[in-house]
Amino acid sequence: MTTVFNKIHRLKQQPGWTWDHFLTEIDKCSAAGIDEKTLYSHYREPHKKPNGYLEKLINQLHDDCFPNPFPEDLNRLMRLYNHLFSCKKHMAKEKDIQDLEFFLRYQSKHEDDYLRVSRLHWLLGNIEFDRIPLYRDNGMREQLALCKQQAINHYQKSVSAIETHNQQSAQAAVGASHLYKARHNILACYLNAVPQASRAKDADIIDYLKASNYIAMSKQTLDAEPFQWTIARNGLRFSSLVKNEIDVKYFFKALASISQRFLTLDYEPLNHGAISDGDDFQWAIENVLTSDYLASVKGATEKKGKGKRA
C-alpha cells in the first residue's frame, strides 16, 4: 500500500521540506542523487514505476524519517514468514509454518507490550489469511469458515492492541496509515473468502461494510494523508458495493484531487486495474460517475488547482 508515490508525498509534507531540501536529503543518502524532474514526476504520477535505485533511496529516506513503530525483531520475523510462504521449492514449509504458529501463539499469551501483542496477532492473522484461498478454491467450507474467523479474530486483537497503545502512549502513537492497514486486514478476510466474481453480491461482505466503521475510518485516514490514492480507491470501491452515492462522490473527488488522471476511468495506476474494468465499481459507474458528473468534477478540480504546483 505504501508506494514510492505515497512515501514521496509523506516526506514532502514535512515542515520545511522544499524540493531543494528534499534533494539535499537524498544527496546525503547517495552521492549520485536524483534530479528534481525525476523526483517530481514520481510525486505527480500514481502510475509511474520507479527503478530500483530510486525506490531504494526513497525507502531509505522514508525509513529514517518515519521508522516502523513495531518491534524490529517481530518485523523481521514477519519478513521471514513471507519468504517461507512464498517459497515454492520448500516441500515441508507447511510444517515449518505450523511450528512458527505454535511459537507465535505461545508468545502472544505471555506478552504485555501492546505493540508486540499487535504484531504477533498480525502475523498469526496473516498465517490464517494465507490459507483461505486453498479452502475456498477446493470447496472446503467448514475449514474456510473456521480459518476466516480465526484470521479475523487475530486481526481484531491486533487492532485493539494498537488502539490501547495509542490511548496510553499518545506521543508515540501508531500513525493513521498503519492503523488503516491493520483494520483493512479484517475486510480482506471477508473479500478473500469469496471468489472475485461473487464479491459484489456477497451478503457477508455487504453486511460487514455497512456494520463496520471501515468507510468512516478511510475518510479519517485520508484527512491525515490526502495523497493516499489506494485508500481513496478502496473507499470508492466499497462505497459502490453498498450503493452509497454520497460516499462514492466523496472518494472520487479525493482521487481527482490527488491526480486528474483518475478522471479518466480507464486510467491504470501502479499495480491496479482501471476503475472501468472493476466489477466492484460498476454500480458507481452506472449510477454516479456519469460523463456529466465527471465533467463537473474536472472543472472544479482544475479551478481549485489553478496556479498551484501539485
Closest CA to 193 of 122, 146, 126, 133: 133
Tell me the C-alpha distance between 19 and 27, whole Å. Answer: 12
Q: What is the mean pLDDT of the segment spanning 86-105?
A: 89
Residue with cell 488502539: 163
Tell me the C-alpha distance between 64 and 67, whole Å. Answer: 6
Lowest-pLDDT range of 28-42, 151-165, 261-275: 28-42
Closest CA to 158 of 189, 130, 184, 119: 119
Burial class (CB in 10 A: 0-12, 13-18, 19+), 44: middle
Residue 31: per-residue pLDDT: 83
HSE of 130, CA atoms in CB hemisphere, 13 A = 16
Q: Which residues, in sequence order, are CB contacts of 259 under 8 Å at separation 6+?
A: 44, 45, 46, 229
Residue 248: per-residue pLDDT: 98
Share of the chain above pLDDT 70, in %: 98
pLDDT band at 207 (very low <50, low <70, confident <90, very high): very high
Tell me the C-alpha distance between 97 and 126, whole Å. Answer: 11
Three-class secondary structure of residue 150 per DSSP = helix
Q: Which three cell numbers stand for residue 300?
A: 472544479
The DSSP secondary-structure symbol of 225 reads -
Tell me the C-alpha distance between 228 and 281, whole Å. Answer: 19
Number of separate helices (H) and strands (E) present in the chain = 16, 0
Q: Which phi and psi (to 5°) does residue 64 adopt?
A: -70, -40
Closest CA to 287 of 233, 249, 232: 249
Tell me the C-alpha distance between 151 and 156, whole Å. Answer: 9
Give domain limits for the chain: 4-65, 194-310
Considering the entire predicted model, what is its pTM?
0.90
Residue 305: per-residue pLDDT: 61
Torsion from C-alpha of 141, 272, 297, 4, nearest 10 degrees = 120
Tell me the C-alpha distance between 23 and 42, whole Å. Answer: 14
Q: What is the pLDDT of residues 123-178, one digit of tens each?
A: 999 999 999 999 999 999 999 999 999 999 999 999 999 999 999 988 889 999 99
Burial class (CB in 10 A: 0-12, 13-18, 19+), 173: middle
